[in-house]
Amino acid sequence: MPMPCFPNEPPPPALHVLVVEDDPVACEFMRKMLAGQNCARVISATVEDAINAFVRMAPDLVFLDIHLGDRKYNGLDVLQVMRIYDERVKIVVISGDDDPGTIAQATREGAYGFIGKPLPASRILHYIRECDRVCYKQA
């Protein structure tokens, strides 16, 4: 983990996390979960905001909802675009749709993992810690 510049400053964020979720309750839950994990975080509710944030932020980890409010595009479309920009970023798909075909498609598109809704805190923390461990080793 990077050292703070000054002894009284908190350390810089270890991970940059992007959450793509259109449900306000799930967004607030993720915001609270990430607040205590030393993560720089951005939460996007739309496809356009998500892609812009992804390009601007270059996150280490993405939590991506499959069913967004956009009628034209869904989370799997966003996953494909993100993979064009960065093949290495860890993208965890989140959804209430636990259809095996949907999960298999997400995996084929390059998803790192899947979390079903309602979002269990233990699974979110698992992916944060795993990504932190992997990203820290690569640095």
Q: What is the pLDDT of residues 67-124, one digit of tens each?
A: 998 788 999 999 999 999 999 999 999 999 888 999 999 999 999 999 999 999 999 9
CB 67 within 8 A of CB 74: yes
99: domain CATH number is: 3.40.50.2300
Domain of residue 131 covers 15-138
131 found inside a domain = yes
Q: pLDDT at position 89, please?
A: 95
pLDDT digits (tens, 9 = 90+) for 8-45: 665 556 789 999 999 999 999 999 989 888 888 999 99
Query: What are the distances in angstroms from CA 57 to CA 41, 53, 72?
Result: 9, 6, 24
124 membership: H or E segment, kind and range = helix 121-138
CB 97 within 8 A of CB 74: no
Question: How far is residue 98's CA from residue 49's CA, in Å, rounded to a whole number?
Answer: 25
Structural domain count of the chain = 1
10 found inside a domain = no
6 found inside a domain = no
Torsions phi, psi for 44 (to 5 deg): -120, 140
33 alpha carbon, distance to own chain's centre:
12
Torsions phi, psi for 95 (to 5 deg): -170, 150
Q: pLDDT at position 139, please?
A: 47
9 found inside a domain = no
